[in-house]
Structure 1
Amino acid sequence: MLSANSLRVVRSSRAVLHPNRLLTNRLSVTCSGHWMSTSLHKKDTWHSNFNVTTVRTEKGLFYSTNYIPSLRNYTANQVKLNCWNCSQLFDKKPTFFCMSCKVVQPPEEGTSFFQIMDCDCTFTLDTQKLQKRYLQLQRSLHPDNFSQKSAKEQEYSESQSALVNKAYKTLLKPLSRGLYMLELQGMQLEEGTDSGADSHFLMELMEINEALDEAQTPEEANKIGQDTKGKLAELTEQIDAALRKGELQAAKALLGQMKYYANIDEKVKEKLSEFM
């Protein structure tokens, strides 16, 4: 019969060989120093790092497992980087400026928008913090600040500034943020097809669009706009819940609905501008 310590070793060894067995437990998703709690199921396709730690106790060796799930392509390249100008080794990522010689650095391949904007890797992120980070980065990275610098610094400032703009615009709105989170998982919505949409849902959208086209007053258009915003808020909560549970297919379907309502929201704004 195996001893208790031997059983611990066997269980840990099996976990290394079959890490998916641990997916039914409640886990913490680590995202560049930030975390969010989520429940994952075996069927969901999350990539992971799996570490085994040996701890010496009074009763002998104990092997503990440390399972760290992460979004695909989320973590930046693990290769250590140096400053292109003075070869100073960087101790954090992303690095926009060298702490030694102060020159701007080129964008780092594989860095996610969440890392660039120093945001929690979650669907319901703090947009005020996002905007503050955006303004801070643009004040320091804007190409106008490098007009008297070398050609290489001007090039890097332009590419960094453009990347910050793209990251900000992507993470600012729930729809583009959610689609980007799916993209990190290797998933995306199919363009130009309604084959996956429920017929009742499509009929409802058609009726809303017809009512908006026939709206004769700002009040009528505003009513449709308020109803649409309420639906978008409801979808935001549902998508956040699905992503926290690791239910990626459900999140994808809900984001598809959000895309339709976001289009209606834009049409409402256009309709209201006609009454001005």
Structure 2
Amino acid sequence: MWSGRTGVLLRGWGFWLAGVPGRGPPSSNTASQARSNSSRCWNCGGPGGAVRGNAFFCPQCRALQPPDPSRDYFSLMDCNRSFRVDTMKLQHRYQQLQRLVHPDFFSQRSQMEKDFSEKHSTLVNDAYKTLLAPLSRGLYLLKLRGIEIHEGTDNEMDREFLMEIMEINEKLAEAQSEAATKEIESVVRAKQKEYTDNVSRAFEQDDFEKAKEILTKMKYFSNVEEKIKLKKIPL
């Protein structure tokens, strides 16, 4: 562990560690009532109304059912619960689901189905964005195992890494040309690629503490990436 002046300076640079991207479906009294008897369709009362697996509609009346709150993003997007995902398959699944549940297709349906459609669509968007990016995917995998990275973790990082981050930020702040900014961006991209490969191996070995350590570093570099994007925006 290491704390002191560098930790203070890092906080001054704006190093906060945000929570895991993505959220579950918004709760509502309507959805709760519809879920009160999860084995029945809210519309016709028939069996099999609950959303399980890939079934989003009642098999009898075809009414859209509320989202299943127990379903995780990997299951929803038809992916193995693994750090390695097929991004092409993920995109195809995203498009497939949005063709099923997007609110545009429910403008002439009941208000209940409109509400459920919005919840499904939001959930699908969140799942897709979370699993698509290596950092958010890794954080979500940890979250499923009850492991989260909290704010103020700079005191837990080694001095060499923190000094490296500070130097990159200083160079970025002083960069006066597009070429200088691109050079820094190239360094950051290479670092993120290295960390992505390392965290993938950590997950394969079920070394979740190692994965947490690497993902924490990736979050620091992600903050730098955001600053690079802002630097590129013309004033």
- When normalised by structure 1's length, the TM-score is 0.67
Residue in 1 aligned with 2:151? Answer: 191
Unaligned regions of 5+ residues in structure 1, if any?
A: 1-78
Separation (CA, whole Å) in 2 of partners of 1:132 and 1:229: 26
In the alignment, is residue 270 of structure 1 matched against residue 230 of structure 2? yes
Q: CA deviation at 1:189?
A: 0.2
The worse-fitting range, judged by mean Cα deviation, of 155-164 and 203-212 is 155-164
Q: CA deviation at 1:144?
A: 2.0
Separation (CA, whole Å) in 1 of partners of 2:132 and 2:39: 29
Residue in 1 aligned with 2:43? Answer: 85
In the alignment, is residue 165 of structure 1 matched against residue 128 of structure 2? no
Match of 1:117 among 77, 81, 97: 77
Q: 1:1-276, aligned counterparts within 5 Å?
A: 81-86=39-44, 87-89=46-48, 92-274=52-234
Q: 1:131 to 1:145 in 2, by over 3 A?
A: same
Richer in helix (by share): 2
Separation (CA, whole Å) in 2 of partners of 1:175 and 1:142: 27
Q: Which has the larger radius of gyration?
A: 1
Percent identity between the aligned chains?
A: 46
SS at match of 1:93: coil
SS at match of 1:139: helix
Q: 1:201 to 1:149 in 2, by over 3 A?
A: same
Contact 1:107 / 1:160 at 8 angstroms: preserved in 2?
yes
Separation (CA, whole Å) in 2 of partners of 1:224 and 1:136: 38
Q: Deviations over 1:106-150 (max 9, x none)?
A: 011210001111112111211221122112211221112112111
How many residue pairs match? The answer is 197
The worse-fitting range, judged by mean Cα deviation, of 265-274 and 235-244 is 265-274
Q: Deviations over 1:16-59 (max 9, x none)?
A: xxxxxxxxxxxxxxxxxxxxxxxxxxxxxxxxxxxxxxxxxxxx
Richer in strand (by share): 1
Contact 1:215 / 1:221 at 8 angstroms: preserved in 2?
yes
Separation (CA, whole Å) in 1 of partners of 2:86 and 2:161: 31
Unaligned regions of 5+ residues in structure 2, if any?
A: 1-36
SS at match of 1:270: helix
Q: Deviations over 1:60-109 (max 9, x none)?
A: xxxxxxxxxxxxxxxxxxx9844333423279514222333222110112
Contact 2:52 / 2:68 at 8 angstroms: preserved in 1?
no
Higher RCO by CA contacts (8 Å cutoff, separation 6 or greater): 2
Contact 1:94 / 1:111 at 8 angstroms: preserved in 2?
no
